[in-house]
Amino acid sequence: MPVATALEDAYRRDRRKVFATLVRLLGGFDLAEEALHEAFRIAADRWPVEGVPRNPAAWLVSVGRFRAIDRLRRDRRFISLDDAVDAVEAEPDPAAPPDEQGGLEDDQLRLIFTCCHPSLAEEAQIALTLREVCGLATEAIARAVLVKPSALAQRIVRAKAKIRDARIPYHVPDADELPERLPSVLRVVYLIFNEGYAPSSGERATDPALSQEAIRLARLLRELLPEPEVIGLLALLLLQESRRLAREAADGEFVSLEQQNRSRWDRAHIAEGQALAEQALRSGRIGPYTLQAALAAVHAEAECWEDTDWTQIVGLYDVLLRVEPSPVIELNRAVAVAMRDGPVAGLALIDALMRLPALTQYAPGYAARADLCRRAGRYEEARAAYRQALALSEQGPTQRYFQLQLDQLPAT
């Protein structure tokens, strides 16, 4: 393999792993980031002469670490860093132990749990995970989460300062802590996926890059920590991702699940998602992500909207509501009830739900009501509800979708 290719490969494949290990060895994000750049710079000088090392990741960790120690030594005449140097030197050489790969993987998990620590604000968790675990550039993250790059950079700097000053530990929670700590990790991955799948505002219907990043993270988590809910989350993301092409029309407009051309669904994603969902369900420890994956799997099995097994969908929503009570899930259940028992039955549920404070400003709620009114032939009510949905929506494609539904209502 040419050296340039090996270097590129290592950069693409090992960069974040090496970073995660350097954070542990050097005890800080900024020091690790500098050491990582140094290591790749030296690799570019030395690999063409000395050949590509047998284990590039371990080589990069080792070189990065020694460079950082050198620098700390040179600097310690000016600032008192003796303790830091001693601590770094006390660590065993990461290139020495034979199980070095296992070590690198644990470090990635440590990095994920640190970036998703519940004492950081959710938006900081998302920004840090995308920056430090996925290695996305600050500008790309800022674009994706729709904040100014300067504001996002500030968010990341503050989060790193909190990790350092408040001493958020760099470790994977023990089995007894895991139930408390895993949800924030799963939520960050889910939010990253959703921001790419159904952006909360802006002009594009979807942003595939972010969803891909979330799936990559979920795969990594599943490899390192095969908990049922981790498997359930990966299943859910794959099943949702399978509909991406069908969900966005050629002109970029949003296409509802009912109207999607199901031959455009990605069968490979569906098969993998279904197998994972079954695996998670068999575990007997069934959480909200697994249940949502099961719901997505039922939709994936149906040839068309009308063929959907609505009885099973309603049943799954009933279980989901017991695990995670939420007005939005109640609303989805009401739509499923309408499909099973007719629009009037669904409307009775929705009208009661829309009086809840959590839903009075919720555009999809009005859209669901409008759709059921249309099915029941109550066109004037449908028109009014679509107008409310339109007024509450902030995202271009969704707004145009509601407008189209409004325009297509029969005149009364």
Partner 1 sequence: MDGSRRCPATGRVIRLCRNDERGRIVKYLCLVYLDEAHWSACPDQECFEFASTLAGSGRLVAAEPLHPVHTATTVRVRNGQVALYDGPFAETKELLAGFYLIDAADLNEALSIAGRIPPAKYGSIEVRPVRELSVDGFRSFSPQPAAG
The owner of tokens 């007894």 is 176
4 or 161, CB closer to partner 1? 161
Stretch that binds partner 1, among 116-124, 264-272, 350-358, 378-386 (CB under 8 A): 116-124
Rounded to a whole number of angstroms, the minimum distance from the CB of residue 113 to partner 1 is: 10
Q: Is 167 in the site for partner 1 (CB under 8 A)?
A: yes
**23 touching partner 1, by CB under 8 A:** no
185 binds partner 1 (CB under 8 A): no
| Closest CB to partner 1 among residues 164, 267 | 164
- Shorter beta-carbon distance to partner 1: residue 137 or 161: 161
Q: According to CB under 8 A, which one of 158, 187, 222, 375 is a site residue for partner 1? A: 158
Is residue 168 a contact residue for partner 1 (CB under 8 A)? yes
Alpha helices in 80-227 (DSSP H): 82-90, 100-115, 122-128, 138-145, 149-165, 178-197, 208-224
- Asked if residue 179 binds partner 1 (CB under 8 A), the reply is no
Nearer to partner 1, 180 or 307 (CB): 180
Interior angle at CA 250, CA 245 and CA 254, nearest 5:
65
From candidates 180, 223, 258, 351, binder to partner 1 by CB under 8 A: 180
Of 64, 56, 220, 5, the closest CA to residue 134 belongs to 220
Residue 134 has which token pair?
């996925």
CB of 233 to partner 1, least distance (A): 21
Contact (Cβ atoms closer than 8 angstroms) between residue 166 and residue 120: no
Cα 342 from chain centre: 35
Q: What is the DSSP letter of 306?
A: G
Judged by CB under 8 A, the stretch of 41-49, 161-169, 298-306, 386-394 that binds partner 1 is 161-169
Q: Which is nearer to partner 1, 147 or 345 (CB)?
A: 147
Decide if residue 169 touches partner 1 (CB under 8 A). Answer: yes
**119 within 8 A of 33, measured Cβ to Cβ:** no
CB distance 192 to 145 below 8 Å: no
Binding residue for partner 1, selected from 118, 135, 208, 327, defined by CB under 8 A: 118
Closest C-alpha to 361, from 328, 327, 326, 389: 389
- Of 4, 161, 209, 352, the residue at the interface with partner 1 (CB under 8 A) is 161
Q: Which helix (H) or strand (E) holds 15?
A: helix 3-26
Quote the DSSP letter at residue 174: P
- Give least dist CB 163 to partner 1, A: 9
Please give the structure tokens belonging to residue 342: 């007719």
* Residue 375 in tokens: 């099915």
Q: Which stretch binds partner 1 (CB under 8 A): 101-109, 160-168, 277-285, 384-392?
A: 160-168
For position 120 contacting partner 1 by CB under 8 A, the verdict is: yes
Q: Which is nearer to partner 1, 148 or 167 (CB)?
A: 167
Tally the residues of the chain.
Answer: 412
Among 124, 235, 239, 314, binds partner 1 (CB under 8 A): 124
Which lies closer to partner 1 via its Cβ, residue 161 or residue 323? 161
The rounded distance, in Å, linking the Cα atoms of 366 and 350 is 9
Q: How far apart are the first and last CA of the chain?
A: 71
Binding-site size for partner 1 (CB under 8 A) equals 17
- Interface with partner 1 (CB under 8 A), residue from 4, 44, 151, 166: 166
How far apart, in whole angstroms, are the C-alpha atoms of residue 51 and residue 54? 9
Which amino acid, one-letter code, is at 265? Answer: W
Residue whose structure tokens are 């063929």: 307
Is residue 121 a contact point for partner 1 (CB under 8 A)?
A: yes
Select the span of 173-181, 186-194, 243-251, 376-384 touching partner 1 (CB under 8 A): 173-181
Nearer to partner 1, 121 or 209 (CB): 121
d(CA 364, CA 354): 11
In this structure, what are the phi and psi dihedrals at residue 2, rounded to the nearest 5 degrees? -60, 150
- Rounded least distance, CB 393 to partner 1, Å: 29
**By CB under 8 A, is residue 177 in contact with partner 1?**
yes
**Which residue ranges make up the site for partner 1 (CB under 8 A)?**
117-121, 124, 158, 161-162, 165-169, 173, 177, 180
